[in-house]
Structures are given as C-alpha cells and as structure tokens.
C-alpha cells in the first residue's frame, strides 16, 4: 500500500524506474538494434559503407518528418500538412538549385522558411482561432500540394551537385552525414526537452487545463509546436531532394501515413504528453530498416505493409499495456 510511505520522504533515486525506461526511447532503440543485427546476419553485405550510407540516406527524410510531427503530437495535436510541406520543399529545391556549399545553405534556408510559414498558418488557425487541427492542417496540406504542382507540373528539375553528392556522402569516409544529422537532432531534443518550452510542450499534452492553471501559455505553446514541425518537414523535403536528386510535386505523399506510423512505433502517445523526438527518429529508422530486412529474408514486398502494420499494432499495444500496469500500481 502506498500510504505506508506517507511519513518517509522518498529518497532521490539515482537509477531510472522501470516506467521511466519503458516510456523513454529505450524500447524502440532495442527493437532497432535487434533488427539491425538480424539484417547484418542475413545480409552480410549490409555492413559495407555504401549500403549503410544508402540505408540512412533513405531513412533520413522520414526521420526528420517524424521528428517534426512529434512536436505537434506531444502537445496533443495533429498535423497533416507534412505531406504538403515535403512536396513543396522538394519542388522548390529542384527548381531553384543554388550550387556550392553556401548554395546548399541558401536552399535550406528557403525550405525552412516555407516550413515555418506554413507552420505559422497552422499554428495560428489551430491555437488562436481554435479550428480543429485535422481540418486546418488538411487544408494547408492541400494548398501546399497545389502550390507544388503549380511550381513544377511533373517530376523533374535539378538538385545542386553539392546537395546530391556531398550531403549524401560520409564524413572522413566513415560516418554518413545522414547519421550526423540524426544525432544532431537527438542532441537538440535532449536539450530542448529540459527548456521551459520543452516542459510546456509536454505539460500541455498531459493536461491542458492544469498547464493553463500552472501559468503556461497554452496557445503560444501550441503555436510554437507547429513552427517546429513545419521547419522539420521543410528539412525533410530538403533531404528528400538531396537523396532523389530530383523534384517531385507528389514526393511528400508517401510520408503522410508513414510519419504517423513512425511516431506511434516510437511510443509517443497520440493523446499527447508522453514520448519524444528521439523515439520517433528510431521509430522512423525502424520502419525503413524493416523494409530492408523483409526484403533480405525474402518476404514478398506485397506483405511489407501487412507486417509493418502488425508490428505497429504490437508496439501500441505494448505501450498501452505498460500504461495500464503502471497506473494500476499507482492506484493500489
């Protein structure tokens, strides 16, 4: 019984509790490592730098999109504009390529500005005008896709050589740049979550009412989450362009559902308040790795979707089970 403890102060525990571990990115990291091990066993050539590079280059756009979506989902929201922003960013980079490293930076600035702009519209409409997030972001997704088609009517365009070759290569011939970017996002998140903005994000997702009564500006927190999301979607579209070396006005479409699948697989709750960006990055990487593993063990690609869906359900069931077990323990 918990009431026995009433008079003894709980001591600082140096080690994380089981619940803290299970709610962190730890389970999905374990799944990822297990799957990577399986992959390297059934497909020894997977360990060559070339295939590691291509695996991460393939995964990075989805990882960035999932990272962005996590900001919105953590505060209890929903954002469909991901597909639109990725398409738009991809097309813009392909029709206005700027050569050289500084050119790549200029292109990145463009797509992030686009992401922030669309995110600001989403955030304003959802947080301040209080329009339902699904309706509002569905509208911005359709608008972005429309604009992408206006800019580039059919797949084509050119991506600058620096983006297409250098950004998809490796540093010192050993570490893929995609990995560096992913690690940078993880470091960013681990700092961000301890800022006041990070705490506010989780608090609003946990209990909007309590957050407001605690003095947190709920509308501003929501607004900011859409800005972060937009910026990450823009970056995802940018890396998609780098990886495909071309522009595709429908390039963002496959990302719509996979992004949510990756976030769910990472263990972030769709109700908000629990989860994190690191978990979503691994969720996305796991989804992409799974396709490779299934292909390597000879499963027909027709089954890929079925198996991905089944694994997602298992992941969601697992986190629901953990929730139920830990909350039951608390109520006793």
Partner 1 sequence: MRARVLQANALSKRYGATVALSDVSLTITQGEVHAILGENGAGKSTLVKILSGVVRANSGGMSLAGEPYNPHSISKARAQGVATAFQELSLIPNLTVGENLLLPNASARTFWPESKSSILRRAAEVLREWQITDIAPDAIVEDLSLAERQRIEITRALSHASRLLILDEPTAALPDPGWLFQQIRRLTARGVAVMYISHRLGEVREICERATVLRNGKTIDTVDLSGVDDDGIFAMMVGRSPESAFAEPVVARPDADIIVDVRNLNVGKVRSLDLSLKAGEIVGLAALEGQGQQDLFRALGGAVKPSDGKIMVGGQAAALGSPRRALRAGSGIAFVPEERKTEGIFVNLTAASNIALPKIGRASHAGIVYAGLEKKVSAEAASKVALSPRYLGFNVGSLSGGNQQKVLLARALITGAKCLVLFDPARGVDVGTKQSIYAMMRDYVAGGRTILFYSSELSELVHLSSRCLVMYGGRIVADVPRAELTEERLLAAAHGHSQEMKVAV
Measured CA to CA, the distance from residue 75 to residue 163 in angstroms comes to 33
Which residue stretch of 11-19, 45-53, 103-111, 251-259 sits at the interface with partner 1 (rule: CB under 8 A)?
11-19
What is the closest distance, in whole angstroms, from the C-beta atom of residue 258 to partner 1 in the complex? 28
Nearer to partner 1, 37 or 196 (CB): 196
Cβ–Cβ under 8 Å, residues 58 and 289: no
State the minimum distance, in angstroms, from the CB of residue 228 to partner 1.
16
Rounded to whole angstroms, how far apart are CA atoms 85 and 299? 33
CB of 24 to partner 1, least distance (A): 12
According to CB under 8 A, which residues from 150 to 209 bind partner 1? 191, 194-196, 198-200, 202-203, 206-207, 209
CA distance 276 to 17: 17
Distance (Å, whole) CA 261 – CA 267: 10
**# residues near partner 1 by CB under 8 A:** 34
The closest alpha carbon to 224, from 206, 200, 208, belongs to: 200
* Helix pair 133-151, 100-123: axis angle to 10 deg: 140
- The answer to whether residue 149 forms part of the interface with partner 1 (CB under 8 A) is no
- Min dist CB 88 to partner 1, Å, is 33
Minimum distance from residue 33 beta carbon to partner 1 (Å): 26
Q: How many CA atoms lie within 13 A of 124 on its CB side?
A: 7
**Minimum Å distance from CB 281 to partner 1?**
20
Q: Where are the beta strands (DSSP E) in the chain?
A: 170-171, 175-176
Q: What are phi and psi of 33, to 5 degrees?
A: -65, -45
Residues 6+ positions from 78 with CB-CB distance below 8 Å? 72, 133, 134, 137, 270
Among 210, 306, 310, 324, binds partner 1 (CB under 8 A): 210
Stretch of 74-82, 141-149, 210-218, 287-295 contacting partner 1, by CB under 8 A: 210-218
Q: In degrees rounded to 5, what are phi and psi of residue 170?
A: -125, 150
If binding is defined by CB under 8 A, does position 45 make contact with partner 1?
no
Decide if residue 6 touches partner 1 (CB under 8 A): yes
Q: Which residues inside 69-128 make contact with partner 1, applying CB under 8 A? A: none
Q: Which residue has the tokens 């006005």?
A: 249
Task: Please report how close the Cβ of residue 265 comes to partner 1 at its closest, in angstroms.
Answer: 21
A 10 A CB-CB count for 30 gives 11
Min dist CB 1 to partner 1, Å, is: 10
The answer to whether 132 contacts partner 1 (rule: CB under 8 A) is no
Which residues, 217 to 276, sit near partner 1 by CB under 8 A? Answer: 217, 273-274
Rounded to whole angstroms, how far apart are CA atoms 72 and 126?
11
Considering the complex, state which of residue 198 and residue 230 has its C-beta at the smaller distance from partner 1: 198
* 170 versus 326: smaller Cβ distance to partner 1: 326
Among the listed ranges 119-127, 162-170, 215-223, 226-234, the one in contact with partner 1 (CB under 8 A) is: 215-223
Nearer to partner 1, 3 or 301 (CB): 3
Q: Does 300 bind partner 1 (CB under 8 A)?
A: no
Residue 325 beta carbon to partner 1: minimum distance, rounded to whole angstroms: 14
**Separation of alpha carbons 168 and 159, rounded Å:** 12
Cα 146 to Cα 21, 207, 245: the distances in Å are 43, 36, 22
Q: What are the beta bridge partners of residue 171?
A: 175
Asked whether the beta carbons of 66 and 257 are under 8 A apart, the reply is no
Determine if 15 is a binding residue for partner 1 (CB under 8 A). no
Interacting residue ranges for partner 1, rule: CB under 8 A: 2-3, 6-13, 191, 194-196, 198-200, 202-203, 206-207, 209-217, 273-274, 327, 330
């Amino acid at each position: 019984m918990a009431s026995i403890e009433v008079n003894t102060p709980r001591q600082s525990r140096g080690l994380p509790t089981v619940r803290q571990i299970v709610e962190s990115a730890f389970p999905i990291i374990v799944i990822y490592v297990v799957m990577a091990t399986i992959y390297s066993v059934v497909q020894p050539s997977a360990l060559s730098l070339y295939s590691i590079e291509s695996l991460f280059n393939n995964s990075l756009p989805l990882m960035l999109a999932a990272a962005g979506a996590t900001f919105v989902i953590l505060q209890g929201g929903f954002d469909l504009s991901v597909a639109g922003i990725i398409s738009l960013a991809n097309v813009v980079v392909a029709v206005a390529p700027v050569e050289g490293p500084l050119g790549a930076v200029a292109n990145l600035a463009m797509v992030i500005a686009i992401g922030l702009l669309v995110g600001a519209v989403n955030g304003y409409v959802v947080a301040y005008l209080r329009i339902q997030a699904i309706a509002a972001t569905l509208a911005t997704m359709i608008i972005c896709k429309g604009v992408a088609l206006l800019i580039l009517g059919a797949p084509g365009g050119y991506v600058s050589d620096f983006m297409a070759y250098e950004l998809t290569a490796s540093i010192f011939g050993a570490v893929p740049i995609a990995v560096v970017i992913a690690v940078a996002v993880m470091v960013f998140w681990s700092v961000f979550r301890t800022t006041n903005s990070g705490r506010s994000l989780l608090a609003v997702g946990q209990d909007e009412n309590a957050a407001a009564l605690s003095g947190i500006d709920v509308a501003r927190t929501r607004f900011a989450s859409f800005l972060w999301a937009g910026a990450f979607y823009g970056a995802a579209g940018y890396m998609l362009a780098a990886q495909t070396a071309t522009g595709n006005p429908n390039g963002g479409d496959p990302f719509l559902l996979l992004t949510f699948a990756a976030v769910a697989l990472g263990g972030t709750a769709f109700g908000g308040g629990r989860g994190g960006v690191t978990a979503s990055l691994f969720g996305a990487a796991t989804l992409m790795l799974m396709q490779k593993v299934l292909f390597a063990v000879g499963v027909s690609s027709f089954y890929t979707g079925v198996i991905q869906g089944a694994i997602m359900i298992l992941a969601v069931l697992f986190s629901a089970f953990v929730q139920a077990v830990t909350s039951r323990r608390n109520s006793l």
